[in-house]
Amino acid sequence: MIVITTPTGTIGAAVAESLRATGAPLRLIARDPARLPETLREYADVVVGSHADPEVLNRALTGATALFVLVPPNFGAPDVTGYYLGFARPIADAVRAHGVPRVVAVSSLGRGFAGPAGLLSAAWAMDDMLESSGAAYRSLQPAFFMENLLHQVDLIRGPGMFVLTADPDAPLAAVASADIARTAADLLADDTWTGQEDVPVREPVDHTPREMAQVIAETLGRPVTYQQASLADYRARYASSGASPATVDAMIEMAEAQTAGVYPPVREGGGGTTFRRWCESVLAPAVNPSTLR
């Protein structure tokens, strides 16, 4: 029995659907089962509740052979690392108690970075806690999500620009969320791996933000430029959106860590969706919905 958390989220749903297609037995932990696609509701065993709840985990992990973990975002968290550990600690206890042999979790690229890294540091604290369970463990380590650019569709469609804090000419490691789901599903379906390892998930080539703008422009067939935001602007934007002070600080620390080189250079021969392909298949239809007709 493979147990999936966050099955109504983008990545969790994709993992569950991929495994359903293989006929694997699934159990889903969902706060609101009504949000699950009908195909999953009819196919899988569903445990209602949060995967931060020990009682829910006790029901869900009985007889489990593998577990997929993703901590859902909470921009109102008063303590970001505490929020991650609020999921990781009861999960580690339940995995240990039920003898779950394999755990796959979504963390972040750059583990081992010496300085503070905000949200990334919180994810690595989760890794440490889950590894303490003694289960075979794979820490999936994505970089900057390409899907973050979907929050700037109006800017791209209108004035033809997107905004980040990254240096315009420094490579920025990126990943398509579909590759995270695919990697997770492949590992969960494989019952032969052992040990504890980090698994980077990223596109084959790192582009600078200026190069990303050029790729977007070529994909859309119109000019698109990149504008670097200051950390002060970045802080003000998240604060005005209602994020907690702790989350704002964690976002700033993450941006500073990215500038400081938290993501190691890409190795040759890597796989993953290219940024150009992602722009063609995801960004362009979002910017120009008429192309879907």
Q: Do 275 and 212 contact (CB within 8 A), yes or no?
A: yes
Residue 13 pLDDT exceeds 70: yes
- CATH number for the domain spanning 14: value is 3.40.50.720
Separation CA 24–CA 17 (nearest Å)? 10
Cα 213 to Cα 234: distance, rounded to the nearest angstrom = 19
pLDDT (tens digit, 9 = 90+) per residue, 87-126?
999 999 999 999 999 999 999 999 999 899 999 999 999 9
Count of domains for the chain: 1
Q: Is residue 287 part of a domain?
A: no
Phi, psi for 14 (deg, rounded to 5): -65, -40
Residues 73-85: tens digit of each pLDDT: 999 999 999 999 9
Contact 63, 100 (CB under 8 A): no
User: 26 pLDDT exceeds 50?
Assistant: yes
Would you say residue 281 lies in a domain? no
Q: Report if residue 18 sits inside a domain.
A: yes
Q: Say if 39 falls within a structural domain.
A: yes
The answer to whether residue 184 is domain-embedded is: yes
Does some domain include residue 284? no
Among the listed residues 174, 172, 161, the one whose alpha carbon sits nearest the alpha carbon of residue 220: 161
Whether the predicted pLDDT of 270 surpasses 80: no
Which residues face 228 on adjacent strands?
Answer: 164
Whether 175 and 146 have beta carbons less than 8 Å apart is answered as yes
- Please compute the mean of the pLDDT values over residues 175-202 and round it to a whole number: 96
* Residue 192 belongs to some domain of the structure: yes
Residues found in the chain: 293
Q: Is residue 159 part of a domain?
A: no
Domain, as residue range, for 80 = 2-144+176-201
* pLDDT tops 50 at residue 292: no
Which stretches does DSSP call E strand in the chain?
Answer: 2-4, 26-30, 45-48, 66-69, 102-106, 136-142, 144-145, 161-164, 174-175, 196-201, 225-228
Residue 44 near residue 16, CB atoms below 8 Å? yes
Predicted local distance difference test score (pLDDT) of residue 269: 59
